[in-house]
Amino acid sequence: MHASGQSLVLNQPLALSSNQSPSLNSSPSFIDDLKTGYGNVYNSHNLPWLGKTWLVGGILANTDLDHKIQKHYNDSFLSKSSDSFSLHTEKIGDKSTTLLYFGLAAVNRLACDRDCGVIPEWGDRTAQALLIGLPGVWASQAILGGARPSHGEGSDWSVLQFKYEHAVSGHAFVGAIPFLTAAQMTENPYAKAAFYALSPLTAASRVNDQQHYFSQALMGWLYAMKVAEVLNGDLQPEDALVLPYADEDTVLLSVIKPF
């Protein structure tokens, strides 16, 4: 990914591009950018990705894999330390945290015509991704159903029954978007890898807190990956194959991706 225009180097060799497309020079409005984003995300070209994502999530949710993964996590990793760590990482996906991104977006648009630097631009792009992606998350929740572990029920989808609506984790989506956006704004490979590594922390916290099964947290994260990829044009998660496996002694999730 090649950047043009302005960039900011933050003391280390980490450069986040704040002006990466010719469209920024014409300063389209925030609403115009949202319209363009909606058109790019919600179109027929992304239906194969949605089908594969629902296939992976459905296999996990509608077999005993989710239950086995949850039990394995609770038996092997759940602790006071994991609860303490989760207390902080869960907040990244809270609604209150999103106010930061919308505030930065407002500064970026109103104070300096989208020329305020890398941090406001990051907030702007993050806010756009949230507004564009969350309707898809909410619609999937309503369609697929799915109970929480804390409900004492399985993760099986209850399609269009509207009893539970947790098949896609909203927290996992919201918590991943700012990191994935930052990852796609930097050309530094180490920073990019670090941002990608941080992106599933909120999803993991939801599993730890018994608020979502693994499939639900995974799908929220995958939705975030797709929205960030479409809006920023860096990732290609459609090239990845996710293969779940579990037996009496082992729980594995393999991600196969060509480079």
Pull the structure tokens for residue 122: 């990051």
Rounded to the nearest integer, the mean pLDDT of the chain is 83
Average pLDDT over residues 171-199: 95
- φ, ψ for residue 246, nearest 5 deg: -150, 145
Confidence of residue 156 (pLDDT cuts 50, 70, 90): confident
Over 50: is that where the pLDDT of 235 sits?
Answer: no
**What confidence tens digit (pLDDT) does each residue in 60-85 have?**
999 999 999 999 999 999 999 999 99
The predicted model scores a pTM of 0.79
Alpha helices (H) in 145-213, listed in sequence order: 170-185, 189-198, 201-208
Q: Is the dihedral of CA 178, 231, 183, 133 positive or negative?
A: positive
Pull the structure tokens for residue 231: 């809006």
Q: Across-strand partners of 253?
A: 244
